[in-house]
Chains A and B, each alone.
Chain A
Amino acid sequence: MKTNQFLLAYVFAATIVLAVACKPKNTSNAVSGDTAAKAYVAPGQYDSYYNFVSGGFSGQISTYGLPSGRLLRVIPVFSVDPEKGWGYSEETKPMLNTSHGFVPWDDLHHTEMSQTNGEIDGRWVFGNANNTPRVARIDLKTFRTAEIIELPNSAGNHSSPFITENTEYVIAGTRFSVPPDNANGDVAINTYKQNFKGYISFISVDKEKGNMDIAFQIECPGVNFDLSHAGKGKSHGWFFFSCYNTEQASTLLEVNASQKDKDFIMAVNWKKAEEYIKAGKGKKVAVKYAHNSYSDETHSATSTIRTEVLVLDSKELTDICYMIPCPKSPHGCDVDPTGEYIVGSGKLAAIIPVFSFDKLQSAIANKQYDGMYEGIPVVKYEAALYGEVKKPGLGPLHTEFDGKGNAYTSFFVSSEVVKWNIKDLKVLDRVPTFYSVGHLCIPGGDSKKPSPKYLIAYNKITKDRYLPTGPELAQSAQLFDISGDKMQMILDFPTIGEPHYAQAVEADKIKEKQVKIFKIDDNKHAYVTKGEKDAKVVREGNKVHVYMTSIRSHFAPDNIEGVKVGDEIYFHVTNLEQDWDVPHGFAVKGANNAELLIMPGETCTLKWVPEKAGMYPMYCTDFCSALHQEMQGYIRVSPAGSNNAIKFSLGESVPEASK
């Protein structure tokens, strides 16, 4: 009996040891004892960083606090969000307008914050739409999408929305080359080499207001532009784009776009491009694209379709673009804080090439070329190369910097983050991630001035990391403390959608300038109701406009009659509150629509087309006070052709018993 028990225990212990040995990359050996304290932010205390994370196929941007990993807000950008009425209210529908009409979804890959003198200034964060090419600007005073601009001549806006060091331009590069918009796109797909072009767009940003405008585009050869980053400091005035599929395949890219030993990083001298634009070398091309902007004064968006864009041709103007050979389908294209080093990450390569801006300049001056690619000079690889990081890992994707001379590169295939020194190209440290890391983020890690306390790895695969939730699992973020020599994982949390790139910034740069309410006096909405005395219901043909107010805890009016089947009813609800954190919601039974969520001092409009006569309750959806459950009303809908006149009231039909 005793020997049996002993044997059993022995076998059990051995099994544990074996299990651990078989699965080296689990939590127990990646996290050490005091880590929880490093990510702990006590209840009632603030995080020290804001983290703006792309929502990938959710189309949104999520905002987390670091180091706690608390989700603070999901900002609706390219996808409708019924919770916030985004894309459902009459005021926000124009924001999702495009040259293809209303598009309710997109795939937001990268976030990039505005910079001044190469430092994050905390004013705006930009996001890109990969599917129907667009760039959005989010105002960080309100955490709302303020502007969306569509990109003509483009498809798969992937190498975007990266910016220059004073936010002079936001960049967009097309991932899926296509025939230009004004050319005939109805051509055989296998005519890629003749007919398909890759466009990169320079979107100017107004210094004060942030308003975006497409300053110019450059027509480039048909390839896949993947990622990009601006030069900075000495390389300010240049932009670098990674390109793959320089084979120009249009089918089975998995094989056909991996034929060549090297693809390219395309260096673009945008100051030179500006000179050509000034000299009138840009061609005006007829296109169609939407420009949408939201006003915090009218609380409404407007969408205009623009019809012209200026295009420079890289074949004719041969001193704007230069190709630098880069091994094996590069993804990341990252410039260090000094602006001297450009790191290419060939996702199928076994080395990381580091290029030198100074060497590139002298190679161009001395015409150290290796022929031309579709009219663009190809710089000799060695002439631009500073050096290679040897055997760093498998599948390098993206690099961020700590400003102390080190680079951190993510490795998708070997699921790890590798820290290496830029000067001597030596690997210093490596840590596992769980699993298949894509991009990285260090606060300010792609700017001139990183704040290198933390590094966040964004992972594609989370199998076995969290409680399982059926076939569909969350993506994740893992937070590392990088303040010491060795990286240390301190937190692991699931994310919204699929996080690609992210940005983070010290909380102080954002938290003090938050808008808390909209002043009711400044509300210039066409259907605002400033006070209950002005609340009314107005019939205009079959359109019925309800000028409604909300305050804790009633709507005015809250009884409406005389509405008929066939009417289009517009509830213009003005929230009269002037205190922070007191939104009211609004919903009506049976509406083929979402709710409204109305901030203090704001007016929002819900359109409702009732299809059946009857009694329809409406109510406040956002718990607003102890009497929130009383915040409700009724709308009586009569049959089409009824003679009931419009009638509206508040507090008039009090039952006899309570008088």
Chain B
Amino acid sequence: MNFKHKHSNNPTKPMRQILLTAALAIMIASCGNQNQQTEEKTTQAPLGDNTAATNENPSYDPNRGEGKFTTVDLGDGLNKTMADAGNAIQGVKCASCHKTSDERLVGPGWKGVTERRTPAWIMNFITNPDPMIDKDPEVQAQLEICLVRMPNQGLTDDEARNILEFMRQNDGVK
């Protein structure tokens, strides 16, 4: 501190001091850059799979969604046993947020969902919501309205199929 004051009293010194400071600043800046570079090198991809929030993902099929289901065999007409089982499960795991009418609660109402979406899309979405929330343009639009990401409720394949059957019953399939 004292040294600086003494230097600045000397009319020949300020210029040199500015130069020095500038040089120092450049050094610090370049060091900083180097650090960033090495950090980028040592940092690997994070473990979660939230890396690509994109509408541009060419491999995403908006009709099928993303998940293990490609085709769903609906059979002839409604399977009442499965629909009843689906009703029981949705009472525990879904009804807190979804009404069976078209009225929105936390999430959208279920009325008409089987007409708007393919069976495979529904089964993929309810068993594998996170990647689809990140990739599906219509789900992203829905998220802007509801603001709550649909939770993964840990449904088994059978439970998901039964819920689909209940949704079909809810939409008037006999």
Contacts and interface: CB of A to CB of B under 8 A. Distances in A.
Nearest to A45: B44
B95 A533 contact: yes
Contacts of B97: 551-552
Contacts of B154: 517, 519, 578-579
Residue with the greatest number of chain A CB neighbours at <10 A, chosen from B42, B45, B93, B96: B96
Contacts of B43: 42-45
> Main SS of chain A's interface residues?
loop
B44 A579 contact: no
B63 interface: no
Contacts of B151: 551-552, 577-579, 582
Interface string B35-63: 00001001111110000000000000000
B152 A579 contact: yes
Nearest to A44: B46
Nearest to A37: B42
B149 interface: yes
Chain B interface size band reads 20 to 34
A61 to B, nearest CB: 25
B91 A531 contact: yes
Contacts of B96: 531-532, 549, 551, 554, 556, 576
A46 B45 CA distance: 12
A627 B92 CA distance: 21
Contacts of B46: 44
B106 A578 contact: no
Nearest to A530: B92
A304 interface: no
Interface residues of A, number: 28
A520 interface: yes
Interface string B55-81: 000000000000000000000000000
A578 B44 contact: no
A533 B147 CA distance: 24
Contacts of A579: 151-154
A553 interface: yes
Contact of B148 (A517, A552, A576): A552
B148 A625 contact: yes
Nearest to B147: A626
Contacts of A577: 151, 153
Given A578-B152, A627-B148, A533 B93 contact: no
Contacts of A549: 96
Interface in B154-172: 154-155
Interface string A567-606: 0000000001111001000000000000000000000000
A42 B149 contact: no
B42 A42 contact: yes
B92 A520 contact: yes
A531 B95 contact: yes
Contacts of A556: 96
A490 B96 CA distance: 51
A72 B142 CA distance: 35
A515 to B, nearest CB: 12
A385 to B, nearest CB: 51
Contact of B47 (A44, A530, A582): A44
Residue with the greatest number of chain A CB neighbours at <10 A, chosen from B42, B44, B147, B154: B154
Interface of A: 42-46, 517, 519-521, 530-533, 549, 551-554, 556, 576-579, 582, 625-627, 651
8 contacts: A532-B96, A552-B148, A576-B93, A578-B154, A579-B154, A625-B148, A627-B147, A627-B148
Given A530-B91, A576-B96, A625-B149, 9 more contacts: A42-B42, A44-B43, A46-B47, A532-B91, A533-B91, A553-B106, A579-B153, A582-B151, A626-B148
